[in-house]
Structure 1
Amino acid sequence: MRRPRSASDWETLVAVAITLALIGWALIWRSAFTSTVEAAFATVSAFLNWYYVAAVAAFLGAMLWLAVSRYHSVRLGDDGEMPEYAMGAWLSMLFAAGTGVGMLFWGVAEPIMHLQDNPFASDAPGEDQIVALRLAFFHWGLSGWAIYALIGLCLAFFAYRLKRPLTLRSALHPLLGDACDGIVGRAVDVIAVVATVFGVTTTLALGARQMATGLNEVFGIARTDTVELTVVAGIIAIATTSVVLGLKRGIRRLSEFNVLLTFALLLFFLIWGPTNRVLAITLETAGAYLQTLPRQSFFTAATGGDDWMSEWTIFFWGWWIAWAPFVGMFIARISRGRTLGEFFLGVFLFPTIFTFLWFGVLGGTALEMQATGQADIAAATEGEPARALFVTIREVGAPGGVATAVNGMVIFLVAVFFATSADSGTLVVNTILSDGESRPSVVRRVAWSVGIGALTAAMILAGDIEILQRSVVLAALPFTVVLFAMTAGLLAALARERQGVRAGRKQRRPEEPWSGEDRPD
């Protein structure tokens, strides 16, 4: 007898149907799709910039409040349960999933582009470098990581502390009760899946573009659709293998390798770049960031600079929110057994500090080269931000053979980040669509991995990744409502947790902790 379709089966069908419909619209009726996205983006930019700003400021405020609240000793799991992953492996996976190709793409390009144009220009000598780097810090700092940390905390708390399925709808239980497992909750999960697929697909398309640009810079290979599609096929093959191996043997190993290569790249810049000046700029910019964070967090360009605001801050806030279901789910998946205090440090503060170091060293080097006339990075990368990092490495002053080798390493690093994003995204989609199951079937995992690769190829053939980026930002708009509801649910559940402990109802007998490696994926 044929098994009746479960609710998760219907979720899968709806998510696939919506995704294919949107991709088909983009490919077959490209002109109509482009004009619709442009019109919608223009409308949002004109009337709702303030909403994105207010939402992200609220999420940052909620995370800062939680960080200093009384809940730091609450464990994401049973009392006495040990973390599933060692600290080093945990931080490596957080870093690889949360930043990925984006930091490689924008690490040099964004500060240089802000140097050319921003609404906060200063006449003070050298201040333009600080302002440019500060804006990059702002877009990649506490505000963005607060979004990831907040949704990751919501998911992990309800799944591991309250024994709900590891899905987004579980965080709505304090507000909706058992109705969160009905149509409304399932709709939230579908929205999260679609946002994840498009967020990962867009990032992979950008990664393919940067890899193709690197191959052109280093080896003279022309950047064509064929090259980019070949890159996608190769990386998806690696990602699919990683997905089949599972979290411990696949994604974890790739993430740890990512971190090693990333530190090697930082070391290259510290050895060959203007290190003393760069570290001074980085430290001063960190101070300027903290000093201006309150005002910058509420800046809406009400009196001017709205074009810059839409192209940068609103784009990045939408991007962080669109990626939040994916990264938040992955963070939750690997954070079982952590206390809230450890979670705040590992998911909120550590990535922010490392991001500042990354942008300070790479972006600061490029800014100093630009200021001293050592190289015109801005002119070399005009209209092609993917070239920024490769040009900076070539011109920093290292011997030709070393610079070429490092550029080759960057291409490889992009590939590894590419694979990590793809297999992490596949894991998240499968977890949501299997009601939080920690080990979805291999067939499902492979199917979604290949599907994400096919969608990435379709976007490359469609030819306008910028339009896809804007569509992802638009998709973030309704998800802000979901994130507000999840935050309210988390605060309500934490309040009950505290009250329960005071009344003696939440005391739990510590269980034998898992060793970590023996636990299944």
Structure 2
Amino acid sequence: MRAKSGVLKGLNPTVTIASKVILIAFILFIVILANKAGQYFETLSTFLLYNMKWFSIGLVTLVVGFLAYLMVSRYGHIRLSENDDDKPEFNFWAWIAMLFSGGMGIGLVFWSVAEPMWHYASNPFTKGLTDEAASMSMQLTFYHWGLHPWSLFVIVALALSYFSYRKGLPFTFRSILYPLVGERIYGPIGHVADIITVAVTAFGIAQTLSLGVIQINSGLEQTFGIEVSLMTQSILIITLCTIAVGSVLSGVGRGIRLLSQWNMLLSLLLVLIVLAIGPTRYVLNIFMESTGNYMQNLVSMGLWTDTQSDSGWQSSWTAFYWPWWMTWAPFVGMFIARISRGRTIRELIGGALIAPTVIAFIWLSVFGGSALKMEQNERVAYQQQTAISSAETQIDTGEFAGGQILNATKKDSTRALFTLFDNLDGAILGNLLSVLACILLATYFITSADSGTLILCILDAAGDTEPPKSIRILWGVVIALIAWVLIYAGGLQAIKYASIIIGFPISIFILMMGVTLFYSIRREPKPWAMLPQHVHPCEEQLDGPVEHLNPAHKTD
């Protein structure tokens, strides 16, 4: 299974032109039909959620199980490179920083307070605004940001790394089809696969960048009084995308690596400050408790489809999240593969699946847990005040309807994090934390944009990991345009509906790559077959030569 000599060198004109045409048509469609585009997105996404929810939920859980099997199986020793003694390009800590910054940065900052608040107010399993609801809210948030989304990234990274680094095929999505169609991946079939991947990847990157810009604008408005408007958001997109293009021009080894490490340091600083001045004991307890609840209920949560009541909650959350992660899977998976050459299958799955999940749980516990504790304190104070008022006036003032953070979240999810900061320990510190959060969002925006731009360029350049600088600039402009039109079309709701639609074709790809990867990986030599002949455990039982055990021999 080796690539033809001389095929797919330089820019692939078919993929480059066709993908740009599709994306430009999408941009024009939204600009021309701005008032109706959001309605079209909503109609089609509702249809997919109603009829295909079972498929996306089952697929993601299946991927988690498949990766867990590969990690502990005999295939875990396989090194994702041509030679079994190759070393990884990046050290472990630089690798972890880059894959986390490229994978979840903006979304995790955005939802770290907002999502627990929404689940605390209402979820299908407990009564809202209770202690039980607080525990359940963290369990559900862990579920949406844990092993399941990262498994989508890892399966793409693993398949691309295996077929490209191990088998010498192009570093593009067409290579996952090789076991099915053979050399025809270099023709129209391969072009279609790459075109779809490019279009979905560009959209997936842009939708989260637009999410980040909206939250940065909210933070600036709350801290400095800068108006929340399309003009402000447009300026932010232009500024941050310009910086991102400069970073991607400098390459992975410099700009992207350094910015990713900066992100991790700034994230750590923010976590330590909130942990120190917030409800520390509560946060540590809820981290332990929520992790245990998550692990105990992982299978049941992963297969739950709200069959009986079909309340709509799951369609708004889980069934939205999974397609959203799928739109990110080509980009993040390719980026993880790009920085993971030389690692074994076990290292890639263990590092890129478990380590970011633990980091995400810590982040969610610190910010989401702090917000929950403040809400509970306000609820207790309200109940005490209500009891006193009722005793004096004999008037029932009603049930607790939520504290400052929850009410701010219901009004605008982008304000949840900044409202938490305002309530931590004084206005000055709250403003400082808000500024740090805006800086963090901006740097996550840049690292997501530059790593995403690099991946799009690699796809255009037929798998060349060092694509031309001109195409890097062009893709930076296109991503900025898509992010802008998504905000123009209706902000968060338009992004949400479009994510569900765009994620569906990628789910088919993910299913196919799981099948082709397993088919190919089963044909790898067994670990004992790769040992020198003099230590082979079956040597005395072999009558003839053992050329078939030569580690240099790999069957197609």
Within the candidate set 413, 416, 420, 1:388 is matched to 416
Whether the 8 Å contact between 2:147 and 2:353 is mirrored in structure 1 is yes
Question: How far apart in 1 are the matches of 2:74 and 2:227?
Answer: 57
Aligned residue number for residue 194 of structure 1: 199
Equivalent residue for 1:88? 93
Deviation at 1:181, TM superposition (A): 2.1
1:376 match: 404
| Conservation of the 8 A alpha-carbon contact between 1:75 and 1:338 | yes
Map Cα deviations across residues 133-166 of structure 1 (whole Å, 9 max, x no partner): 1000000111111111111000011111111111
2:212 is the alignment partner of 1:207 = yes
Moved over 6 A (4+): 4-7
Q: Which residue of 1 aligns with 2:253?
A: 248
Paired letter, 1:363: G
Match of 2:516 in 1: 489
| Alignment match of 2:324 (pick from 319, 323, 327) | 319
C-alpha deviation, 1:402, in angstroms: 2.3
Counterpart of 1:366, as a letter, is A
Contact 1:300 1:306 in 2 (8 A): no
> Deviation at 1:35?
2.8
The one of 213, 219, 224 aligned to 1:219: 224
2:167 — aligned with what? 162
Q: 46-55 vs 439-448, which deviates more?
A: 46-55
Q: 1:488-511 CA deviation, whole Å, 9 max, x = no partner?
A: 1111111111369837456149xx
Out of 123, 132, 140, the residue aligned to residue 127 of structure 1 is 132
Mapped partners of 2:40, 2:50: distance in 1: 15
Who is 1:52 aligned against? 56
The correspondence of residues 436-447 of structure 1 with structure 2, limited to 5 A, is: 436-447=463-474
For residue 516 of structure 2, give the secondary structure of its aligned residue in structure 1. Answer: helix
Distance 1:505 1:488 in 2: 26
Answering whether residue 59 of structure 2 is matched by residue 62 of structure 1, we say no
Q: Secondary structure at the match of 1:120?
A: coil
Distance in 2 separating the partners of 1:282 and 1:382: 25
What is the match of residue 460 of structure 1?
Answer: 487
Measured in 1, the distance between the counterparts of 2:447 and 2:167 equals: 29
> Matches of 1:279 and 1:352 in 2, distance apart?
17
Which sections of structure 2, spanning at least 5 residues, go unmatched?
1-7, 382-402, 530-546
Per-residue CA deviations over 1:8-52 (Å, capped at 9, x if unaligned) read 111111100111111111110234433322211111122111111
1:476 Cα offset (Å): 1.2
What secondary structure sits across from 2:85 in the alignment?
coil
- Provide closer, same or farther for how the CA distance between residues 49 and 506 of structure 1 changes in structure 2, counting only shifts above 3 A: farther
How far did residue 305 of structure 1 move? 4.3
SS of residue in 1 equivalent to 2:297: helix
What CA distance in whole angstroms lies between the structure 2 residues aligned with 1:462 and 1:355?
31
C-alpha separation in 2, matches of 1:462 and 1:5: 38
Asked if 1 retains the 8 angstrom alpha-carbon contact of 2:14 and 2:191, the reply is no
CA distance in structure 2 between the partners assigned to 1:248 and 1:354 by the alignment = 23
Which of 24, 44, 63 is 1:20 aligned to? 24
Distance 1:6 1:281, change over 3 A: closer
Supply the AA of the counterpart residue of 1:448. W
Q: Secondary structure at the match of 1:498?
A: coil
The answer to which of 174-183 and 217-226 deviates more is: 174-183
- 2:364 aligns with 359
Letter in 1 for 2:207: T
Please give the alpha-carbon distance, in whole angstroms, between the structure 2 residues aligned to 1:506 and 1:452: 48
Q: Distance in 2 between matches of 1:231 and 1:338?
A: 37
* Distance of 1:425 and 1:129 partners within structure 2: 36
The answer on whether the counterparts of 1:229 and 1:460 sit within 8 Å (CA) in structure 2 is no
| Distance change in 2, residues 1:434/1:104 (3 Å) | same
Structure 1 124/294 Cα, relative in aligned 2: closer, same or farther at 3 Å? Answer: farther
Residue aligning to 2:400: none
Gaps of 5+ in 1: 510-521
Which residue matches 1:514?
Answer: none
Q: Is the 8 A contact 1:76 1:157 kept in 2?
A: yes
* Matched position secondary structure for 1:451: helix
Give the distance between the partners of 1:108 and 1:124, measured in 2 at CA: 15
TM-score normalised per structure 1: 0.93
Percent identity, aligned pairs only, is 34
Decide which of 157, 168, 176 is 1:171's aligned counterpart: 176
In structure 1, what is the equivalent of residue 314 of structure 2? Answer: 309
AA at the equivalent of 2:438 = I
* Greater mean alpha carbon deviation, residues 175-184 or residues 443-452: 175-184
The answer for the alignment partner of 2:551 in structure 1 is 507
**Cα offset for 1:302?**
0.6
Return the offset for 1:434. 0.8
| Residue type of the alignment partner of 2:447 | T
Q: Give the aligned CA root-mean-square deviation in angstroms.
A: 1.9
Which has the larger displacement, 328-337 or 57-66?
57-66
- Structure number with larger C-alpha Rg: 2
Q: How many residues align?
A: 505
What is the deviation of 1:361?
A: 1.1
